[in-house]
Amino acid sequence: FFALMQMKTFLSFCLMVFVVSSIADGFRPAMMASISAYAKKENYNRSLSLIRLAINLGFAAGAAVTGFIALHFGYRWLFIIDGLTCILAAFFLLWALEPKEEVLSKEEAKIISEDGIGSSAYADHRYLLFVFFQMLSAIVFMQLFSTVPVFMKDNLLFSEAEYGVVMMVNGLIIVLVEMPLVYILEKHFERMTLVVLGYALIVSGFASLMVAEASVHMIMSYFIIAISIGEVVCFPFSNSFALSRSTPGRRGQYMGLYSMGFSTAFIIAPSLGLHIAEVYGFEMLWLGMGILGMIALLGFVWIRQTEKKPAEKTTGFGLVNKE
Using 50 as the pLDDT threshold, list the residues of the chain that sit under it.
Answer: 116, 311-318, 321-323
What per-residue confidence (pLDDT) applies to 319?
A: 52
The upper half-sphere exposure of residue 199, i.e. CA atoms within 13 Å in the direction of its Cβ, equals: 32
Residue 91 lies in a domain: yes
What spatial distance separates the first Cα and last Cα of the chain, rounded to whole Å? 54
Residue 149 and residue 163: Cα distance in Å, rounded? Answer: 7
315 three-class SS: coil
Residue 316 lies in a domain: no
What per-residue confidence (pLDDT) applies to 317?
A: 44
What per-residue confidence (pLDDT) applies to 285?
A: 95
Residue 43 lies in a domain: yes
Residue 29 lies in a domain: yes
Phi, psi of 320 (to 5 degrees): -75, 125
What per-residue confidence (pLDDT) applies to 107?
A: 57
In total, how many domains does the chain have?
1
- Residue of 29, 85, 46 lying closest to 62 (CA atoms): 85
What per-residue confidence (pLDDT) applies to 174?
A: 85
Residue 27 lies in a domain: yes
Residue 323 lies in a domain: no
Q: Are 1 and 86 a contacting pair, CB within 8 Å?
A: yes
Give DSSP secondary structure letters for 224-252: HHHHHHHHHHHHHHHHHHHHHTS-GGGHH
DSSP 8-class letter at 176: H
What per-residue confidence (pLDDT) applies to 314?
A: 44
Contact residues for 240 (Cβ-Cβ < 8 A; gap 6+): 44, 45, 48, 191
CATH number for the domain spanning 276: value is: 1.20.1250.20
Give the CA radius of gyration of the chain. 21
What per-residue confidence (pLDDT) applies to 220?
A: 92
Residue 185 lies in a domain: yes
Domain extent at residue 133? 4-100+113-304
What per-residue confidence (pLDDT) applies to 90?
A: 85
What per-residue confidence (pLDDT) applies to 99?
A: 67
What per-residue confidence (pLDDT) applies to 110?
A: 55
What per-residue confidence (pLDDT) applies to 142?
A: 93
Residue 314 lies in a domain: no
In this prediction the pTM is: 0.77
What per-residue confidence (pLDDT) applies to 312?
A: 45
